[in-house]
A and B are shown apart, each in its own frame.
Chain A
Amino acid sequence: NAGVTQTPKFQVLKTGQSMTLQCAQDMNHEYMSWYRQDPGMGLRLIHYSVGAGITDQGEVPNGYNVSRSTTEDFPLRLLSAAPSQTSVYFCASSLNRDEQYFGPGTRLTVT
């Protein structure tokens, strides 16, 4: 049981580049979410999904896209990277939106 996995662990992008952060879970959780963590700002919700084929915006969705074609996978796409998107990104899954199981995180730097 791997839990929640994320790839890559580290990434450096140039302004304007696009990329996809991968997230997968093997706990058969319907609810999945993406957070960004910035110093002094806590964890802010970017996008979330309550099941395959259903996604919605969180607190800070601008500049990011998501899709949920399977229960297991929930990739986050950066369309045109900006320095303001430099952050640590956490994917999480939950059975019922209560206890969140977080992945190990992706540290993204945009230059």
Chain B
Amino acid sequence: GENVEQHPSTLSVQEGDSAVIKCTYSDSASNYFPWYKQELGKRPQLIIDIRSNVGEKKDQRIAVTLNKTAKHFSLHITETQPEDSAVYFCAARSYGGSQGNLIFGKGTKLSVKP
């Protein structure tokens, strides 16, 4: 089945700097890759997603890139702000494998220091 590895597990940046979180997946049939943000004590919420027919997607200060050959995808946050501090989860979904369910990485705790 699918396996998703996420790095780093913790990331600390200064306000205004960029942050990059990377994930690798094992199932070459995976074709949907979302990113979720979870603030302390809250529920995970989708912030951006990408499908395998697209190499990059942007939404204001966040972007996701996908390299299907290398089987990895990354979340980029530019001009970080204190409110970006949260745990970020990547996930992958194979329509044929893992029963078609999302498989999540273990999360990255991002701290943005003012």
Contact = CB atoms under 8 A, between A and B. Distances in A.
Interface residues of A, number: 21
Interface in A47-69: 48, 56, 58-59
Contact of A100 (B6, B9, B46, B105): B46
Contacts, number: 50
Contacts of B102: 45, 97, 100
Q: How large is the interface on B (under 10, 10 to 19, 20 to 34, 35 or more residues)?
A: 20 to 34
Contacts of A44: 104
A105 B40 CA distance: 12
A21 to B, nearest CB: 15
B43 A103 contact: yes
B44 A98 contact: no
A90 interface: yes
Given A90-B44, A99-B49, A100-B34, 9 more contacts: A42-B105, A45-B101, A45-B103, A58-B99, A97-B101, A97-B102, A98-B49, A102-B44, A104-B43
